[in-house]
Structure 1
């Protein structure tokens, strides 16, 4: 059974129907092995453009390309059985015009098999979202802190304070009117995200936006504790895999240097042992 209780993969219409119901569980995934694990527990797997920073060591998401998103999208789709896969449209692939956005969204969906895309922006992207949804491209919107606009925003700051609340609310209403089936609220004050969630008829997915959203998303590497030196306030670490990996690799290196690995049980004999005996 899928995360929503059906015998088929989750689709955008299923997520829309979850408004105000059991919270929607979302994690990023970039590889097939992680996708297979996430798929068992989550409603949505987001192939985020955060892959550029998480897996490729880029300083921001701005250097992520269409080819990278398609490559990782295909990998995640291979591990998806039940969860819905949503793929981020990278910076520069949709801002120029609705037509450009449609060409690239259609390419992502055709080359990966994913049923939906995500793009950043509120009121100024409403026309593009409407253009896509009217042509059969389901869109998850993303407002508040939009990492692709971090240079314009002046850093990774909370969005919605100091007179910005009305604009964020207007962004939310605009993407809903344009046809988005859900909207990510990133680094939005909890009170404001609660008001947006209450007012919208589409689900809100929070990241650093408090507990009143219709669902939550985190970067899987963050919540697993794979980055030992990266601790955003809004991330709860459900594991410390980075520390465990460091200890395991240190133990491996030590055993290799002291010739304790490989041991005899890890090696193959020169001659096959007779049947009925152990080699």
Structure 2
């Protein structure tokens, strides 16, 4: 669907207004069919840079490009009518300067019809968030475990324990003051996530955080059991489609090798039967 067709989708201001109300529901999507399945159930759909690992087999999100995000963003947009579309800014597309960030964010929004972009970072990204929002590019912030920074964080570790808690609280307050309409909080202790949620005026979207956050997001391939390279503690598998799919492929292969498929009902006669 085009951006103009998604007339019923919420705006970033609508998501912000959900603070303290009914929990906000979100999942990632990278393709049109998946977007269509979640459209009626999610408040917003995120085209995450996790696409690099989930669909492209990359070892991390660092190798994801603008072109990849735009391509998958366009695919997801075609599957949405009701949910708001948010797209991740990939590594290297916004860190250099607020001007670089706006150039790339405006391109993402223009070429996909996304209502907002998401970028990683706390207090050090506040100036960039303010610059973008002042120029019509709504921003969803992302703090805690920021996957694009795993090389400096030392891997996929829980963030915000001990003395780190005050720093993470300061990050949340900084992005809220800068104008972010919501903030993803990833892989932090539940108590800290609850304190942040109570402290700031914008919705918190938890992933590996707390049920007390204003909303939740998961990578859809994780929760459906399609991506099985590893399973984070915070992922609940609601289905095992990867196992089911592999079993179906094995059954197909066995039938082909046994010449049981295609059966007569899957083939066509030499002549059309007469009336």
**TM bracket, shorter-chain basis:** over 0.9
Matched, 1:268 2:252: no
Structure 2 unaligned runs (5+)? 1-6
Quick check: 1:228–1:243 contact (8 Å CA) kept in 2?
no
Quick check: 1:26–1:217 contact (8 Å CA) kept in 2?
yes
The 5 Å alignment of 1:235-274 reads: 235-274=235-274
The 5 Å alignment of 1:66-77 reads: 66-77=66-77
Q: CA deviation at 1:265?
A: 0.3
Q: CA deviation at 1:31?
A: 0.1
SS, match of residue 62 in structure 2: helix
Deviant stretches of 4+, over 3 Å: none
What is the number of equivalent residue pairs in this alignment?
270
User: Aligned residue for 1:11?
Assistant: 11
Q: CA deviation at 1:227?
A: 2.7
User: Aligned residue for 1:43?
Assistant: 43
SS, match of residue 254 in structure 2: helix
Q: CA deviation at 1:229?
A: 4.5
User: Aligned residue for 1:4?
Assistant: none
Q: Distance in 1 between matches of 2:246 and 2:69?
A: 28
User: Aligned residue for 1:115?
Assistant: 115
Quick check: 2:54–2:227 contact (8 Å CA) kept in 1?
no
SS, match of residue 63 in structure 1: coil
> What is the alpha-carbon root mean square deviation over aligned residues?
1.0
SS, match of residue 61 in structure 1: coil
User: Aligned residue for 1:57?
Assistant: 57
Deviations 1:171-227 (A, max 9, x none): 000000000000000001000000000011100000000211000000000000113
TM-score, normalized by length of structure 2?
0.97
Structure 1 unaligned runs (5+)? 1-6
Quick check: 1:73–1:112 contact (8 Å CA) kept in 2?
yes
Q: Distance in 1 between matches of 2:14 and 2:162?
A: 36
User: Aligned residue for 1:225?
Assistant: 225
Deviations 1:74-106 (A, max 9, x none): 000000100001000000000000000000000
Quick check: 1:117–1:138 contact (8 Å CA) kept in 2?
yes
TM-score, normalized by length of structure 1?
0.95
Quick check: 1:145–1:157 contact (8 Å CA) kept in 2?
yes
Q: CA deviation at 1:140?
A: 0.2
Quick check: 1:121–1:146 contact (8 Å CA) kept in 2?
yes
SS, match of residue 142 in structure 1: strand
User: Aligned residue for 1:96?
Assistant: 96
